């Protein structure tokens, strides 16, 4: 089985982590946990993008050095990922020494191959802000920040020969329908490439907070620092030891799936593949541009004061419910919306009523009727049609999940799992264990309870990637110990519970929200 490599964008540290960052990282974590659980060798990379002028300025405003500032903010990201149970295999920072070395080595290699050249950059420059702006950013020739007059300035800079890759890129995207996902975004990318690619300025001299260009044997008038995007994109290579440990790198590259928001798709579906082509490296299997999360249908912004703080939601609903909501409510690839009403509705109906209640009532009945110990029963498969129905759907569920996960349809995976959860609840209603107990039909009662326990075990197993800590609690209640990072294939079958296995104490998992 080919190892799996999953990446998220690396986040800017000029802002604290918000729901958008959480969304991408949660999706990546779900995929990573799923693949690990099903026996794959997985490397999951996330991290922070720490260079550039914005950081330099933010640090200055706070009276800190850029390094001090990034060291502070990075802790906020790490802390949120801990709370959200993000199980990345490396958290990369662009200030990490090994990353810096890779960026400089790549710059030199691409320069030596003729894809980087020294040229002249011309743009509208604001002297007080020390920033270039594009024509569209500059309203009436004024600086969008300080509203002062902008000057047309020219300076030497290094360029990446993006134009050289235009036809190869187009050909690649055309012949690889799975490269840019979802399909709607693929068309966007193709028409962007068709409209023509200009060479990209990849150095800045007006900043100090960045990676300096390496020694390449060219005399320059000023010091040059590598542009943040050229630096940042290379994290996907340095994160798996490119140029440091070839064997390790070869295991994981090309990446299986690179997740990112639709706003930064062009960087990942045009510039990034061109950089890889310049390095003679294969392109990732999938670059997935997901949609945006809105707040009750509106775009979130600081000025509107409607930015959702992940901590507030986690405080009210718990990290797992938050993970569940984002994966269930937002179809991967489309935009989605958060509202308290929807969140509460999902929490109460799916998590509390359907899944939580299924486990709680089953364990309570097991305690009441069998002292929490799995009974011996004479009934076997084939004796009872409705039990067989539950068993077949639950067992077939894995095949469906494999297919849907392969298409990154996480919301559909959850839909399928919850169908089986509802079917299990219905099975309980139909079989009415309380009537069987009253009638003294202990054999049948035992059989029914075992069927439900098996269904609970399986649906909860499939929910592990989405809600890891709740599933650990469920398994504790079932007294099953399993290593979720590598589950035995036999465990995905039915017939796990054996007579005299004992179950733990039932504890409510999702107390209803009013
Ligand atoms: N540093 C760059 C990425 C470099 S990757 C080599 C960057 N950082 S970011 O912090 O601004 O944004 C990171 C991610 O958050 C992007 O994928 C962006 O799409 C995502 N989101 C920001 N707001 C969002 C929502 N409201 N909803 C969903 N995701 C959004 O860009």
3-state per-residue secondary structure call for 192-203: HHHCCCCCEECE
Spacing, Cα 101 to ligand 1 middle (Å): 25
Mutate to test the pocket of ligand 1, among 264, 268, 298 (most ligand atoms within 8 A of CB): 264
Q: Whose CA is nearest to atom 23 of ligand 1?
A: 20
**Distance in angstroms (rounded) separating the CA atoms of residues 23 and 327:** 8
Query: φ, ψ for residue 78 (rounded to 5)?
Result: -60, -40
As beta bridge partners, residue 11 has: 48
DSSP symbols for 21-73: HHHHHHHHHHHHHHHHHTT--EEEEEEEE--SHHHHHHHHHHT--HHHHHHHH
Confidence of residue 37 (pLDDT cuts 50, 70, 90): very high
Q: Is 45 in the pocket of ligand 1 (CB under 6 A)?
A: no
Spacing, Cα 23 to ligand 1 middle (Å): 10
pLDDT, one tens digit per residue, over 221-268 is 999 999 999 999 999 999 999 999 999 999 999 999 999 999 999 999
Is the Cβ–Cβ distance between 198 and 163 less than 8 Å? yes
pLDDT, one tens digit per residue, over 194-210 is 999 999 999 998 788 99
Q: In ligand 1, which atom is closest to the CA atom of 11? A: 10
The H or E element spanning position 453 is: helix 442-463
How many residues comprise the chain?
A: 514
Q: Is 263 in the pocket of ligand 1 (CB under 6 A)?
A: yes
**Distance in angstroms (rounded) separating the CA atoms of residues 109 and 278:** 9
From the list 118, 127, 174, 168, the residue with the least C-alpha distance to 148 is 127
Spacing, Cα 263 to ligand 1 middle (Å): 7
From the list 163, 130, 123, 165, the residue with the least C-alpha distance to 145 is 130
Mean pLDDT of the chain: 94
As beta bridge partners, residue 6 has: 44, 257
Structure tokens at 39: 């026996």
Percent of the chain with pLDDT over 90: 83
pLDDT, one tens digit per residue, over 358-400 is 999 999 999 999 999 999 988 766 666 777 789 989 889 999 9
Burial label for 379, CB within 10 Å (0-12, 13-18, 19+), is middle
Look at residue 379 in the predicted model and tell me its pLDDT. 72
User: Which letter does DSSP use for residue 109 in this model?
Assistant: H
From the list 209, 189, 216, the residue with the least C-alpha distance to 272 is 189
Mutate to test the pocket of ligand 1, among 6, 7, 11 (most ligand atoms within 8 A of CB): 11
Hey, how many other C-beta atoms are within 10 angstroms of the C-beta on 368? 12
Look at residue 206 in the predicted model and tell me its pLDDT. 79
Look at residue 140 in the predicted model and tell me its pLDDT. 84
Look at residue 381 in the predicted model and tell me its pLDDT. 63
**Distance in angstroms (rounded) separating the CA atoms of residues 388 and 383:** 8
Look at residue 382 in the predicted model and tell me its pLDDT. 65
- Inter-helix orientation angle 319-329/410-431, to 10°: 110
Answer with the residue of higher pLDDT: 381 or 218: 218
Residue 129 pLDDT > 90, yes or no?
no
Answer with the residue of higher pLDDT: 392 or 460: 460
Determine the average pLDDT of the residues in 414-442: 96
Q: Is 292 in the pocket of ligand 1 (CB under 6 A)?
A: yes
Spacing, Cα 20 to ligand 1 middle (Å): 7
Structure tokens at 268: 């990942």
The H or E element spanning position 4 is: strand 4-12
Q: Of 295-299, 335-339, 495-499, where does mean pLDDT reach its minimum?
A: 295-299
Confidence of residue 182 (pLDDT cuts 50, 70, 90): very high
Spacing, Cα 147 to ligand 1 middle (Å): 27
CA-CA-CA-CA torsion sign (66, 68, 69, 74) = positive
Look at residue 12 in the predicted model and tell me its pLDDT. 93
Look at residue 360 in the predicted model and tell me its pLDDT. 97
Dihedral through CA 472, CA 476, CA 482, CA 487, nearest 10? -50
Look at residue 466 in the predicted model and tell me its pLDDT. 98
From the list 464, 473, 482, 447, the residue with the least C-alpha distance to 398 is 464
Structure tokens at 418: 């919850």
Is the Cβ–Cβ distance between 155 and 124 less than 8 Å? no
Spacing, Cα 160 to ligand 1 middle (Å): 24
Q: Of 153-157, 248-252, 341-345, 500-504, where does mean pLDDT reach its minimum?
A: 153-157
Determine the average pLDDT of the residues in 171-189: 95
Is the Cβ–Cβ distance between 287 and 185 less than 8 Å? no
Judged by phi (left if over 0) then psi (alpha if -120 to 50, else beta), residue 382 lies in: left
Residue 126 pLDDT > 90, yes or no?
no
Residue 352 pLDDT > 90, yes or no?
yes
Look at residue 380 in the predicted model and tell me its pLDDT. 66
Pairing of strands 4-12, 180-181: unpaired
Q: Is 231 in the pocket of ligand 1 (CB under 6 A)?
A: no
From the list 212, 315, 333, the residue with the least C-alpha distance to 262 is 333
The H or E element spanning position 429 is: helix 410-431
Residue 328 pLDDT > 90, yes or no?
yes
Q: Is 268 in the pocket of ligand 1 (CB under 6 A)?
A: no
Residue 142 pLDDT > 70, yes or no?
yes
Q: Of 68-72, 96-100, 121-125, where does mean pLDDT reach its minimum?
A: 121-125
From the list 50, 15, 26, 74, the residue with the least C-alpha distance to 302 is 15
**Distance in angstroms (rounded) separating the CA atoms of residues 473 and 359:** 11
Q: How far is CA 79 from CA 52, 92, 260, 315, 491, in A?
A: 23, 15, 21, 14, 33
Spacing, Cα 6 to ligand 1 middle (Å): 16
Q: Is 130 in the pocket of ligand 1 (CB under 6 A)?
A: no
Q: Whose CA is nearest to atom 6 of ligand 1?
A: 233
Spacing, Cα 297 to ligand 1 middle (Å): 18
Is the Cβ–Cβ distance between 368 and 503 less than 8 Å? no
Q: Is 204 in the pocket of ligand 1 (CB under 6 A)?
A: no
Residue 179 pLDDT > 90, yes or no?
yes
């Amino acid at each position: 089985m080919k190892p799996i490599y999953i990446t998220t964008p690396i986040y800017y540290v000029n802002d604290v982590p918000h729901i958008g960052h959480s969304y991408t990282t949660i999706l990546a974590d779900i995929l990573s946990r799923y693949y690990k659980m099903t026996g794959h060798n997985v490397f999951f990379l996330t991290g922070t993008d720490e260079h550039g002028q914005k950081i330099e300025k933010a640090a200055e405003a706070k009276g800190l050095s850029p390094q001090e500032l990034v060291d502070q903010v990075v802790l906020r990201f790490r802390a949120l990922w801990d709370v959200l149970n993000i199980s990345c295999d490396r958290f990369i920072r662009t200030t990490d020494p090994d990353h810096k070395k890779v960026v400089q080595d790549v710059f030199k290699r691409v320069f030596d191959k003729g894809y980087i050249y020294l040229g002249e950059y011309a743009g509208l420059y604001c002297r007080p802000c020390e920033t270039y702006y594009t024509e569209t950013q500059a309203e009436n020739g004024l600086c969008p920040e300080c509203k002062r007059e902008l000057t047309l300035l020219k300076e030497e800079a290094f360029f990446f020969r993006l134009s050289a890759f235009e036809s190869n890129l187009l050909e690649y995207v055309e012949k690889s329908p799975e490269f840019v996902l979802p399909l709607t975004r693929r068309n966007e990318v193709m028409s962007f490439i068709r409209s023509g690619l200009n060479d990209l300025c990849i150095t800045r001299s007006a900043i100090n907070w960045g990676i300096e260009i390496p020694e390449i044997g060219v005399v320059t008038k000023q010091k040059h620092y590598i542009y943040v995007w050229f630096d940042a994109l290379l994290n996907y290579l340095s994160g798996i030891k490119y140029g440091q440990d070839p064997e390790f790198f070869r295991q994981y590259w090309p990446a299986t799936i690179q997740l990112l928001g639709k706003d930064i798709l062009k960087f990942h579906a045009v510039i990034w593949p061109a950089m890889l082509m310049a390095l003679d490296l294969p392109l990732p299997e999938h670059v997935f541009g997901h949609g945006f999360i809105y707040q009750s249908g509106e775009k979130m912004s600081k000025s509107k004061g409607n930015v959702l703080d992940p901590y507030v939601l986690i405080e009210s609903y718990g990290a797992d419910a938050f993970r569940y909501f984002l994966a269930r409510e937002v179809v991967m690839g489309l935009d989605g919306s958060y509202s308290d009403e929807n969140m509460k509705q999902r929490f109460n109906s799916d998590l509390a009523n359907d899944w939580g209640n299924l486990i709680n009532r089953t364990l309570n009945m097991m305690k009441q009727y069998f002292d929490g110990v799995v009974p011996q029963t004479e009934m076997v498969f084939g004796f009872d049609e409705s039990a067989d129905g539950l068993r077949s759907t639950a067992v077939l569920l894995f095949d469906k999940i494999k297919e849907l996960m392969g298409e990154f349809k996480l919301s559909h995976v959850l839909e399928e799992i919850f169908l089986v959860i509802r079917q299990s609840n219905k099975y309980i209603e139909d079989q009415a264990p309380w009537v069987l107990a009253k009638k003294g039909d202990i054999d049948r009662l035992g059989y029914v309870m075992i069927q439900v326990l098996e269904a609970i075990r399986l649906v909860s197993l499939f929910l592990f990637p989405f809600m890891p800590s709740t599933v650990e609690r469920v398994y504790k209640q079932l007294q099953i110990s399993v290593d979720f990072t590598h589950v035995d294939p036999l465990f995905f079958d039915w017939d796990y519970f054996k007579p005299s296995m004992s179950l733990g104490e039932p504890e409510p998992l999702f107390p209803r929200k009013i």
